[in-house]
Amino acid sequence: MTGRPTVAVVGAGFSGLLTALHLAADPDGPVVRLIERGDAFARGAAYSTANPDHLLNVRVSNMSAYPHDPEHFTRWLSQHEGWSSHGGFVTRGVYGDYLQDLLRRALKETGGDRLLLEHDEAVDVERSGAGWRVRLALGRTIEASAVVLALGVLRPAPPASAAAALLESGRYIGDPWDPKARLDEEATDVLLLGAGLTMIDVAISLWRPGRRFVAISRRGLMARPHASTGAELTINPAGSPLQLLRAVRKASENGRWREAIDALRPHVQSIWLGWSLAERRAFLRHLRPWWDVHRHRLAAGAARRIGLMMRGRELVVRAGQITGLDLGKDEVEVAWRPRGGRVMRRLSVDAVVNCAGLLGDLEASPDRLLSRLLARGLIRPDACRLGADVDAGSHLIGGDGVPQPGLFAVGPLTRGAFWEITSVPDIRSQAAGAAQTILSGLRRAAAA
C-alpha cells in the first residue's frame, strides 16, 4: 500500500505474531511483513505439537493474547468445539489453533495488503538510509522503517563433551522440536540432556512400550505440578536475592509455596530490574534452578503421566555432569559423574536428545542472522549472557552501547533485560508495548 512505511517482523511465533497484530490493528499504521522460516505461521515451536499429552503449563484463564482483554481466549474456547479441558488446561495444539485464528481474522480485516506473510528465512539485516534492509534466504530484500526480531527460543548449543562423530550421526538429536528430527524406532535406551520442561515434553512425545529414558542434569530438579491454592499471600518484593529467598521461605510455611511464588509473579520484572548486575548473577548461579522448577509448573495431566513413567522406571532422572559422549559401533557411550561424587560412571544408550532448553549465549548460537548482526555490531550479548541486550523500550543495543533506532527484539531473546519473558502473560505485554513504541516513532517521523 503506497504512502505507508513498512515494518518487518522476523519470526511468526507468539512474540512476532502479537507484535504484528498490534501494528496491523492501527488503521493508519504501517504495512507489516511477517517473516517465518518454519512450516506454519502463528504456531512456532511451542504450539506446533499435535500430541494430546502436551498441555499448556498456564491455566486458560491467563492465556489471552491481549493484556487489555483477559477473557479473550476463554471466549474463543466457548465458541469452538473439539477441545477438552484438563483441569483448567488445554493442549498446546489447541492454543496454536487460537493463534492461527487470530492471524486469519487480521488478514481478513486488513484486506490482505497491510499484513503480508513472507514464507522465507531472514538471513541478514543491515542499515539502509534512515531505515533497514532485510535480506531473505531466497534472494529477495525488504526495505523497512523498523525491524522486530521475534526469534523465539534459540536451539540449544551442542554439549561440549560430545564427539563430532556423534553430533553428525543419526543417534544425536540437537533440536527436539525440529520436525525433521526422528528417533530410530529401534532405539530402546535414550539419554535426555536436561530435566526441565523440554525434557518432560520429549519423554512424553517419544514414549512407547519398552523404551526407557535416562535424564541427566546438573541438579536433577524437575518442575513441580500445579495444584489448587488457597488465599492470596503478600510478599514485599524488595531486597537482595538472599532477602527475597528468606521472605519466600517464611511465606511458604505450612506448604504454601505455590501461593508464595504466585505473590511474586506480578513483580518479577521490577525485582530483576532493581537488582545490580552482581545480584542478578548471584541469583542465576545459586537460585535460578529452584525458581524455575517452582515457577514453571506442570499441568496435572502431564505430571500424572510423568509420574507413571517414573514409577515404572521408564524415566529415571539423575543429578550429575556428563563428561563424555562418544559414538560406538552400535551405541552411544556416556561417561558421567554423579553430583557430589568422584567416581565416574558409564552407560550405553541408543540415542541422545538435547533437552537443555533455552540458549542464552548469542555467540554460541548457530543462527546465521544473529551471527551477522553480532559481526556488524548491531547487537550485543547482555551482561548475564541470557540473550541480546535491549533497553526498556525493547530497542536492541549495539556493540557501541547505543540503542539502535528502529531495531527491536521481543520475546525470549530479551531475557537479560526482563528475565520473565518466556510465557504468554509476559510476552503479550511486551509485544503490545513494542508495537506502540514503533507506531509512535513512525508518527513522529511522518510529522517531521
**Residue 400, number of CB atoms within 10 A of its CB:** 9
Fill in the amino acid letter for 84. S
Task: Report strand pairing: 189-193 vs 31-36.
Answer: unpaired
pLDDT band at 1 (very low <50, low <70, confident <90, very high): very low
Instruction: Write the DSSP symbol of residue 158.
Output: P
Question: What is the pLDDT, as a whole number, of residue 85?
Answer: 60
- Dump the DSSP string for 35-75: EE-SSSTTTTTTT----TT-B-SS-GGG--S-TT-TTHHHH
- The C-alpha atoms of residue 267 and residue 273 are separated, in whole angstroms, by 10
**Residue 329, number of CB atoms within 10 A of its CB:** 5
CB 374 within 8 A of CB 380: yes
Asked if residue 173 has pLDDT above 60, the reply is yes
The pLDDT > 90 percentage for the chain reads: 69
Higher pLDDT, 43 or 338: 338
Asked if residue 177 has pLDDT above 60, the reply is yes
Domains and CATH numbers, the chain: 6-154+360-447 (3.50.50.60), 164-223+298-354 (3.50.50.60), 241-295 (no CATH)
Asked if residue 358 has pLDDT above 90, the reply is no
Fill in the amino acid letter for 217. S
Question: What is the pLDDT, as a whole number, of residue 2?
Answer: 57
List, in order, residues 6 or more apart from 14 with CB less than 8 Å away: 44, 46, 47, 65, 99, 152, 411, 424, 427
Question: What is the pLDDT, as a whole number, of residue 443?
Answer: 94
Task: Report strand pairing: 345-349 vs 351-354.
Answer: unpaired
Asked if residue 318 has pLDDT above 70, the reply is yes
Region 310-318 average pLDDT:
96
- Mean pLDDT for all residues in the chain: 91
Fill in the amino acid letter for 162. A
Question: What is the pLDDT, as a whole number, of residue 359?
Answer: 64
CB 296 within 8 A of CB 223: yes
Instruction: Write the DSSP symbol of residue 214.
Output: E
pLDDT in tens, 183-223: 888 899 999 999 998 899 899 989 999 999 999 999 999 99
- The C-alpha atoms of residue 101 and residue 84 are separated, in whole angstroms, by 18
- The C-alpha atoms of residue 250 and residue 370 are separated, in whole angstroms, by 43
pLDDT band at 265 (very low <50, low <70, confident <90, very high): confident
- The C-alpha atoms of residue 172 and residue 151 are separated, in whole angstroms, by 24
CB 148 within 8 A of CB 434: yes
Asked if residue 82 has pLDDT above 70, the reply is no
Q: How far is CA 288 from CA 88, 104, 293, 347, 410, in A?
A: 27, 39, 9, 29, 22
Q: How far is CA 251 from CA 169, 223, 239, 271, in A?
A: 50, 20, 15, 17
- The C-alpha atoms of residue 135 and residue 143 are separated, in whole angstroms, by 9
* 347: helix, strand or coil: strand
- The C-alpha atoms of residue 354 and residue 364 are separated, in whole angstroms, by 15
Region 269-292 average pLDDT:
94
Nearest of 119, 201, 192, 105 to residue 153 by alpha carbon: 201
Region 59-84 average pLDDT:
85
Region 143-155 average pLDDT:
92
- The C-alpha atoms of residue 280 and residue 377 are separated, in whole angstroms, by 25
* Least trusted range by pLDDT, from 298-307, 328-337, 347-356: 298-307
Instruction: Output phi, psi for 252, to 5 deg.
Output: -85, 5
Region 393-420 average pLDDT:
94
Asked if residue 100 has pLDDT above 80, the reply is yes
Asked if residue 133 has pLDDT above 80, the reply is yes
CB 306 within 8 A of CB 298: yes
Region 158-162 average pLDDT:
90
- The C-alpha atoms of residue 10 and residue 20 are separated, in whole angstroms, by 10
